[in-house]
Amino acid sequence: MVTTTKQNSSIGSKIINFFKSVFGSYGSVLIAIIALSIVWSFASPYFLTIANIKNIGVYMSAAGIIAAGITVSMLLGGLDLSQMAIMALSGIVVGVAFKAGVTGPILLVIAIGVGLLSGVINGAIMNYLHLSPIITTLGTSLIFRSIAYIVSQGNMTVVKDDFLVWIGRGKILGIPVTLCFMVVVYIIVGIVLKYTQFGRNVISVGGNAEASYLSGINVKKTRAIAFMVSGSCAGLSTLLFISQGYVAMPNAGSGADLDAIASVIIGGLSVGGGRGSIIGTFLGMLFFSLLANGMSLLSMNSYAQLAVKGSLLIIAVYIDILRRSKK
């Protein structure tokens, strides 16, 4: 009896500690999310409807999965700029495969596979030509995008497959499938970063690549795998985008990656690497999605929305710097 209560209280205190630490690290984002929700719920009667909340979830999912990939590459200290091009390329390949008669979950495998392969190419260039991640992925993003345009000849491809319809419109226990995908990706990335050697290596290399190397960590392998993860996320994300409109486009993803990068930074990830977590990314993503959703509900000019997002990014990072310098 005594032991049970003890265990209960320890689990209870563990949960409380978890929320305490989340609040300690992400207090300002959480407050911003709550404040934004309150403002939007007064401003628009539709904001707090179940339909709208599902909307936000679906909107978050595709960009959210890119953000998960960015979290891994940025923690390592190398921003992956090629993600949107990987999205375009992998979407076009999915389109070609669909035209050739491929259907069902194999399309999912193809989308992720193309992303993974692109990540392998990024990693190989960095490791063997000794180029920085930003230069490498800037170069490959042009190449991937170019291939996507050449293969598609600039046209979009209709991909209306039952499996994709299920992803785009289906529900598991009342939750949109798209959102389920995102949640699963976040849980996996979260566990990998915290509980595996690879995850710890990513954070160590991001913190100090030289010290990690001198401690016997295989820096090249870590970097290659991180970019494979990032590419795979882009591939999966493509499929979620396609499942919303049933078309694959060679210019897909434009802008989505900037939203994703902005969310990751708002979530507290250090641009230099080595600091941040998937929880921060999730909160940053949630904040950005709420912001976009509310502005659309209020029929704000979509061009003006960009400026609002940009300003908030600058303000958020500034507040973060102030908070840190006080410590």
Partner 1 sequence: MSYQILLEMKNITKRFPGVVALDSVNLVVSRGEVLTVVGENGAGKSTLIKIMSGAYQQDEGSIFFNGKDVGKMTPRKSIDLGIATIYQELSNVKGMSVAENIFLGVQHKKNGFIDYKKLYAESMDIQQKVGLEYLRPETLLFELSTAEQQLIEIGRAYSRNLNIIIMDEPTSALNNIETEKLFTLIRKMKTEGKAIIFISHKLDEVFSIGDRVQVLRNGESVYTSLIKSAKRDEIINSICGRELKEMYPVSKRDIGDIVFEIKNLNTDYLQNININVREKEIVGLYGLMGSGCSDIVECAFGTGVYETGDFYVNGSKVEIHAPKDARSAGIAYTPADRQEKALLITHSVKNNLTLVTLRQFIKGLFINLRKERETASEWVSRYNIKIKTLNEPVITVSGGNQQKIVLARWLASNPKIFLLNDPTKGIDVGAKVEIYKSIEDLCNLGCGVIYVAAELPELLGIADRVYVIHEGAMAGEYAGDEITQKNIVTSAIGEKNYGNNN
**Contacting positions for partner 1 (CB under 8 A):** 191, 194-197, 200, 203-204, 207-208, 210-218, 274-275
CA distances from 321 to 65, 89, 265, 325, 327 (A): 26, 37, 12, 6, 10
Closer to partner 1 at the Cβ: 10 or 254?
A: 10
Q: How far is the CB of 37 from partner 1 (least distance, A)?
A: 32
Q: How far is the CB of 27 from partner 1 (least distance, A)?
A: 18
Q: How far is the CB of 186 from partner 1 (least distance, A)?
A: 17
Query: What is the distance between the alpha carbons of residues 236 and 232, in angstroms, rounded to a whole number?
Result: 6
Query: What is the distance between the alpha carbons of residues 254 and 276, in angstroms, rounded to a whole number?
Result: 25
Burial class (CB in 10 A: 0-12, 13-18, 19+), 326: exposed
Q: How far is the CB of 285 from partner 1 (least distance, A)?
A: 24
| Residue/partner pairs of 44-52 with CB below 8 Å, 24 or more apart | 44/294, 44/297, 44/298, 46/297, 47/293, 47/294, 47/297, 52/293, 52/297
Closer to partner 1 at the Cβ: 49 or 218?
A: 218
Q: How far is the CB of 220 from partner 1 (least distance, A)?
A: 10
Closer to partner 1 at the Cβ: 132 or 215?
A: 215
- Please report, to the nearest 10 degrees, the dihedral formed by the alpha carbons of residues 205, 210, 214, 216 taken in order: 30
Closer to partner 1 at the Cβ: 152 or 212?
A: 212
Q: How far is the CB of 45 from partner 1 (least distance, A)?
A: 45
Closer to partner 1 at the Cβ: 21 or 311?
A: 21
Query: What is the distance between the alpha carbons of residues 27 and 109, in angstroms, rounded to a whole number?
Result: 38
Closer to partner 1 at the Cβ: 22 or 156?
A: 22
Q: How far is the CB of 137 from partner 1 (least distance, A)?
A: 24
Q: How far is the CB of 222 from partner 1 (least distance, A)?
A: 12
Query: What is the distance between the alpha carbons of residues 237 and 90, in angstroms, rounded to a whole number?
Result: 10
Closer to partner 1 at the Cβ: 25 or 146?
A: 25
Contact 292, 305 (CB under 8 A): yes
Give the rounded distance of the alpha carbon of 116 from its chain centre: 15
Contact 284, 66 (CB under 8 A): no
Closer to partner 1 at the Cβ: 166 or 213?
A: 213
Query: What is the distance between the alpha carbons of residues 184 and 65, in angstroms, rounded to a whole number?
Result: 10
